[in-house]
Amino acid sequence: MPLSDEIAERVLSSIIDGQYPPGTALPAEGVLADQHAVSRLTVREAVKVLRSQNIVRIQRGRGTYVNTPDQWTALEPMIRAAAGTPAGGAVSEKLIEARRMIETGAALLAATRRTDEDLAELEETLDEMRTAAADGDTEQFVQADIAFHEVVMRASGNAFVPLLFEPFGRLLVEGRRQTSAVPQIRANAVRHHESVLAALRAGDPEKARLAMDDHMEQTADDLRAHVIDPRD
């Protein structure tokens, strides 16, 4: 990695950590150079990297200012910022919305493109989910849950589909840890995964799409009911 990219990463981390909140100015070029023990030219190139992603903007005569994450144009920094926000519930809801858009379509394709090996792998991960749910093993449940969805996306037969979700890995794991710690959510998830698998095994695209859509809707409902606004 070029040194300028490394400095850009460091500055981005400082932005995400809140050292330089949105709307505030970055330290002057010389100050950043001293902080990171690099030349001003390296800092200048690092700032260009951040500008290219609209993470920062130049205000002539005033300095370099931090933009809000919703203005950023690069996916990885946005995901890093979302992962670091205290508003975990809101982030998880948005993640479910994104998943719903992609995974319902993936399930529809997978219904006619899945192989016997795909079905066997889905059954295996579903068994792991059942076992983990019964044992109250949240970590194992999350891993099996995510693995199930990864198989569905691969079974879509479209190589672009799994790549669409690859950058969301960290958020997906954290979001599922948050919800899967609740026994009722684990039970709901197992039931919906069973419906998705049954539809895929039947080779019915519309049934598979609806089953995955129902699963996403249940996931959103569970998040709101048990995590965002739990009722004692």
Determine contact, residues 154/162, Cβ cutoff 8 Å: yes
pLDDT in tens, 40-88: 999 999 999 999 999 999 998 899 999 998 899 887 788 777 766 554 4
The confidence score (pLDDT) of residue 61 equals 87
Query: Tokens at residue 149, please?
Result: 């969805």
Domains and CATH numbers, the chain: 3-74 (1.10.10.10), 86-228 (1.20.120.530)
User: 185-223, pLDDT tens digit by residue?
Assistant: 999 999 999 999 999 999 999 999 999 999 999 988 888
Q: Residue for token digits 């950590």?
A: 17
Give the pLDDT confidence of 28-50 residue by residue, as tens digits.
999 999 999 999 999 999 999 99
Contact present, 173 and 141 (Cβ < 8 Å):
no
Tokens of 217: 């809707």
CA-to-CA distance for 83 and 91, rounded, in angstroms? Answer: 8
Cβ atoms of 67 and 24 within 8 Å: the answer is: no
Give kind and range of the element (H or E) at residue 57.
Answer: strand 56-59
Q: Which of 181, 197, 198, 180 lies closest to 189 in space, CA to CA?
A: 180
Residue 57 main-chain phi, psi, to 5 deg: -135, 150
Spatial distance between the Cα atoms of 102 and 106, rounded to a whole number of angstroms: 6
131-167 pLDDT, tens digit per residue, is 999 999 999 999 999 999 999 999 999 999 998 877 7
